[in-house]
Amino acid sequence: MTATARLPKPVTEAWHWQLQAACRDVNVSRFFHPENERGNARDNRERRAKSICRKCPVMQQCRAHALKAREPYGVWGGLGERERRDLIASGRTSWRRGRSGG
């Protein structure tokens, strides 16, 4: 079985939420790091991306997609790469940040 067998099927209705996304007209470089980006530069870019996610009306759908598809790169639904990796490794399929998180 290949790794792609786990991916969600591309159903048009399932992607309709993307039309509502706050990031729709934002350059993808805000959400995906350039090669070799490290340290403060990476943290700052990720923080700016997450600030867009926090205001997004479809953040939960985006997050659910990223976890289900095991998206390895970028900020999706307010979660960075490390956060998603940790959730997937722990076997959690969903995650909601507490009131104090952010």
User: Was 67 annotated as part of a binding site?
Assistant: no
Q: For residue 61, how far is the Cα from the chain centroid?
A: 10
Question: pLDDT-based confidence at 102, cuts 50/70/90?
Answer: very low
Domain ranges of the chain: 14-90
For residues 2-30, give the mean pLDDT. 77
20 is in an annotated binding site: no
- Is 11 marked within a binding site? no
pLDDT at 5: 58
pLDDT tens per residue, range 87-96: 999 987 655 5
Mean pLDDT, residues 25-41 taken together: 94
In angstroms and rounded to an integer, the radius of gyration of the C-alpha atoms of the chain is 14
Angle at 71 between CA 100 and CA 12, to 5 degrees: 105
Q: Is 69 annotated as a binding residue?
A: no
